[in-house]
Every structure is written in structure tokens, then in C-alpha cells.
């Protein structure tokens, strides 16, 4: 496959024996803090507000990569249904709406019996993210790109290899124990599907799992 010549570092494997003890200690500390936070108790109104703020930050961080210029305050207002945008900027609000809908779609699927991630779901989420947006003709929502892409001097993985690469990527993720893929309310997995999504106007896709729906 072509990617083995120009993207030799894509191996879907890692030699953990090379990680120093200090890193394992730091990872253990991080896990401990996450567990502490997951057990924190907030009054319902404060918990809801914090959840909305985190959601707004996450949705905005995802869309700002592609040029969304809404502020955090505006995104919060959009979540609450109080943001009125002029027609020329409505697409910015639609981008936020699509991200929220996709997150909710993940929440609907992630707690199924096996908890596995599937390529067709990733495609569906991408289609949801790009729904009703103005796209270049070469962009095919919910499908792997057929053309070459680049970001600066970095060249994306060959289009012809994407089916294989994404298959290997999903297979690697699904090797993790189920509780590491679904976890508790504050555990999240962030997967950068750059090889796929960079060809469809979204460079980074964020997977988040929470106990309650995002919006």
C-alpha cells in the first residue's frame, strides 16, 4: 500500500516498554484525579450550567478549526435557543447544531451491548456534521475522500488506503477493554480521525461519552 512508503510511522502499534516509570506514575496520578472528579457532587443547577459550558467549549473548539467565528457566549446562547443570527451567518450556527446532534448520536449508540466502534457509524456522524452545509463539490458527506489533501507541508494519507487504514484504526480501538471505551460519566475518548475527516472539511472529530444527553 502507498501509505507504507510515505507514512511509515502509521503502524497501529506501540512499544510500551520504552515508556519511563515517571510517565506511568504521571498517568496513574491523572487517572486518580479523573476518578476523584467523577465522584464530585454538584447541585443540579450548577451541574447543568457546568455541563453547558463544557459542551459549548467542546463544540466551538471542534468547529473553530474550520473557521467558525462564533464566540463562546454566542454558542451558549445557541444551545439555549436564544441566538438569532443574520442569514449570512446562519451557517455558523448550523455547524454548532450539527456537532451537538452528532454528539447525541454517539450517546445513543455507545452504550449498546458490545460498545464497539464501527466505521459505518463514523461515516454517519460525519454525514451528520456536514448536513445542510455549503461544501465543495469533491466533498462527499459520510464517505471517504477520493482525492489528496494536505495541511501546510503535511500530506494526508493516500485516499486509496483510507478504507484499510480506518479499518485498522477501528480494530485497534476495539481491542481496548469495553470499560475503557465507554467508561463513566467523565471519561472521554478523543480520536483524531485526521486521515479521513481532513478530506471532508473537518480535521478533528471528538468522541465524548457522558451519562446524559448533550442537549
Q: What is the pLDDT of residues 158-176, one digit of tens each?
A: 999 999 999 999 998 888 7
SS3 171: helix
The predicted model gives 31-57 an average pLDDT of: 86
Specify if 94 maps to a domain: yes
Q: Is the pLDDT of residue 135 over 60?
A: yes
Specify if 103 maps to a domain: yes
Q: What is the pLDDT of residues 1-24, one digit of tens each?
A: 899 998 988 988 888 888 999 999
Output the pTM of the full model. Answer: 0.72
DSSP label of 198: G
- How far is Cα 72 from Cα 55, in angstroms, rounded to an integer? 10
204 within 8 A of 60, measured Cβ to Cβ: no
Q: Is the pLDDT of residue 29 over 90?
A: yes
The predicted model gives 63-92 an average pLDDT of: 93
Which pLDDT does position 152 carry in this prediction? 84
User: Over pLDDT 70: what percentage of the chain?
Assistant: 79
3 within 8 A of 10, measured Cβ to Cβ: yes
The predicted model gives 124-131 an average pLDDT of: 91
User: Over pLDDT 90: what percentage of the chain?
Assistant: 43
Domain count, the chain: 1
Specify if 20 maps to a domain: no
Specify if 151 maps to a domain: yes
> Which CATH number is 120's domain given?
1.10.3290.10
**How far, CA to CA in Å, does 65 sit from each of 96, 132, 185?**
12, 19, 26
- How far is Cα 189 from Cα 180, in angstroms, rounded to an integer? 9
Domain encompassing residue 139: 41-200
Specify if 210 maps to a domain: no
Specify if 214 maps to a domain: no
Specify if 110 maps to a domain: yes
The DSSP bridge pattern shows strands 154-155 and 150-151 to be antiparallel
Specify if 19 maps to a domain: no
SS3 186: coil
Q: At 13, list the grid cell.
A: 502499534
- How far is Cα 145 from Cα 204, in angstroms, rounded to an integer? 15
Cα angle 100, 101, 104 (rounded to 5 degrees) comes to 90
Find where cell 483524531 sits.
Answer: 192
Local confidence band at 113 (pLDDT 50, 70, 90 cut-offs)? low
Amino acid at each position: 500500500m502507498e501509505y507504507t512508503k510515505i507514512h511509515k510511522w502509521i503502524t497501529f502499534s506501540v512499544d510500551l516498554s520504552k515508556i519511563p516509570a515517571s510517565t506511568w506514575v504521571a498517568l496513574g496520578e491523572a487517572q486518580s484525579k479523573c476518578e476523584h472528579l467523577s465522584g464530585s457532587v454538584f447541585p443540579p443547577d450548577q451541574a447543568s450550567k457546568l455541563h453547558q459550558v463544557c459542551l459549548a467549549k467542546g463544540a466551538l473548539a471542534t468547529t473553530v478549526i474550520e473557521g467558525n467565528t462564533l464566540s463562546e457566549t454566542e454558542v451558549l446562547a445557541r444551545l439555549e435557543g436564544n441566538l438569532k443570527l443574520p442569514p449570512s451567518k446562519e451557517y455558523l450556527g448550523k455547524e454548532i447544531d450539527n456537532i451537538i446532534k452528532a454528539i447525541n448520536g454517539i450517546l445513543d449508540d455507545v452504550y449498546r451491548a458490545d460498545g464497539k466502534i464501527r466505521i459505518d457509524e463514523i461515516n454517519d456522524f460525519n454525514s451528520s456534521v456536514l448536513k445542510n452545509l455549503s461544501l465543495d463539490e469533491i466533498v462527499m458527506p459520510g464517505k471517504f475522500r477520493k482525492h489528496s489533501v494536505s495541511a501546510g507541508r503535511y500530506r494526508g494519507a493516500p485516499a486509496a488506503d483510507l478504507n484499510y487504514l480506518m479499518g485498522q484504526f477501528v480494530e485497534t480501538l476495539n481491542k481496548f477493554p469495553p470499560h475503557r471505551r465507554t467508561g463513566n460519566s467523565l471519561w472521554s475518548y478523543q480520536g483524531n480521525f485526521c486521515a479521513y475527516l481532513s478530506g471532508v472539511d473537518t480535521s478533528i472529530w471528538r468522541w465524548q461519552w457522558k451519562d446524559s444527553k448533550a442537549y
